[in-house]
Structures are given as structure tokens and as C-alpha cells.
């Protein structure tokens, strides 16, 4: 049935199902062709055009004969396309925000846990050093004293302090390497890479 828009709108008022079918058959392909060019997929275009026709059905009693129905349908389609992108943008932004917050929180917890475990392991490694070596190591690492200052404070030669520091560093590294969980090591390395 090939009716003018005016006749189809009259039919829509008298026999809504028939009038709707006439308008659906007349405008579906045209609206779908437009929607396909504006939306990312054919499925989204199909869904959007269906929403337009749902709006037509819901508004059937208030639509007045203004010559052509196409301007009303195309405006409705344009608004649906805008809404689609606004919803998607909002949804995508929400997802990105939530992923970012979750990732940041997870990284902070993992970093704190790894840092706490690493500190405990380092402390354990230092406590395994001989007392004099432990003292030299702590003065260098914790008090930030140079080998010459340590040598002066402990009445040792600078070379003896350097040797003690070298051996202490090696022993601490070996102790930690033999005991650290690989997952903790990975977290520490990732945290160090993020900070660079």
C-alpha cells in the first residue's frame, strides 16, 4: 500500500496497526540507511531506528498532519543518535574512572604490602650480619654517612669501611634474593617503573 504521509497519518488515527505498518514500510529503509552512517554498527542502527518507530507509536495520537512525516522521524532519529553517543560517552567515562580508581587502589595496597614485607625482609637480612658490619651498614644506609665519616666515627680505615659495606650489601642482596616471593619482587619492580 503506497499512501501519502497525510493519508497514512489519517489511517494511523483510524486503524493504528495498519497506519503504523504503512509508515514503517515507507520509512524503515530510509531511516536505517541514515542510522548506519551515523552509528558504529548495524545492530546499533537497527536498535535506534526501532526506538524511533516506538516513539512514533507512542506519539501517534499527538502527531498532526503537517504534510510530510519525514522531518519528525529524522529529528527523532537525530536525537536518538545524540543520546546514544551521550550514553556511551558517559558509560565509557564511568568505566574508565572506575577502572582507574580500582587500579590505583589495588596498586597502593599492593605497594604498601610489598613495601612492608620488603622492609621486614631487609631488616631480617641486616640482623644476620656480624655486629660490626651491621653497624657500618646502618650508619651508611640509615644515617646516610659517607665511608670517610664512618671510618672517623669508628676509628677504622676508609678502606675497611668500604670493604665492610661491599660485603654487607652482597650479603643483604643474597639473603633477600633467596627469600623474596617472586610476586612481591614483580610488584616492587612495577612500582619502581611507575615512579620513573
Is 125 in contact with 171 (CB distance < 8 Å)?
A: yes
Report the mean per-residue pLDDT for the chain: 79
pLDDT band at 50 (very low <50, low <70, confident <90, very high): very high
Is 8 in contact with 22 (CB distance < 8 Å)?
A: yes
Nearest by Cα to 73 from 60, 86, 87:
60
pLDDT band at 18 (very low <50, low <70, confident <90, very high): confident
Residue 12 pLDDT? 78
Cα separation, 150 vs 154, whole angstroms: 6
pLDDT at 117 over 90: no
Cell representation of residue 187: 610488584
Cα separation, 111 vs 123, whole angstroms: 18
Amino acid at each position: 500500500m503506497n499512501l501519502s504521509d497525510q493519508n497514512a497519518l489519517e489511517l494511523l488515527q483510524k486503524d493504528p496497526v495498519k497506519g503504523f505498518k504503512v509508515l514503517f514500510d515507507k520509512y524503515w529503509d530510509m531511516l536505517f540507511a541514515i542510522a548506519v552512517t551515523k552509528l558504529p554498527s548495524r545492530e546499533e542502527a537497527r536498535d535506534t531506528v526501532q526506538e524511533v518507530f516506538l516513539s512514533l507509536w507512542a506519539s501517534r495520537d499527538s502527531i498532526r498532519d503537517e504534510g510530510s512525516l519525514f522531518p519528525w522521524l529524522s529529528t527523532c532519529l537525530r536525537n536518538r543518535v545524540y543520546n546514544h553517543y551521550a550514553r556511551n560517552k558517559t558509560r565509557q567515562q564511568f568505566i574508565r574512572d572506575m577502572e582507574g580508581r580500582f587500579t590505583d587502589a589495588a596498586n597502593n595496597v599492593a605497594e604498601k604490602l610489598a613495601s612492608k614485607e620488603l622492609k621486614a625482609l631487609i631488616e631480617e637480612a641486616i640482623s644476620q650480619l656480624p655486629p660490626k658490619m651491621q653497624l657500618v651498614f646502618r650508619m651508611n644506609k640509615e644515617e646516610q654517612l659517607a665511608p670517610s665519616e664512618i671510618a672517623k666515627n669508628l676509628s677504622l680505615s676508609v678502606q675497611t669501611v668500604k670493604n665492610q659495606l661491599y660485603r654487607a650489601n652482597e650479603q643483604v642482596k643474597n639473603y633477600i634474593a633467596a627469600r623474596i616471593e617472586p610476586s612481591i619482587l614483580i610488584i616492587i619492580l612495577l612500582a619502581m617503573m611507575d615512579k620513573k
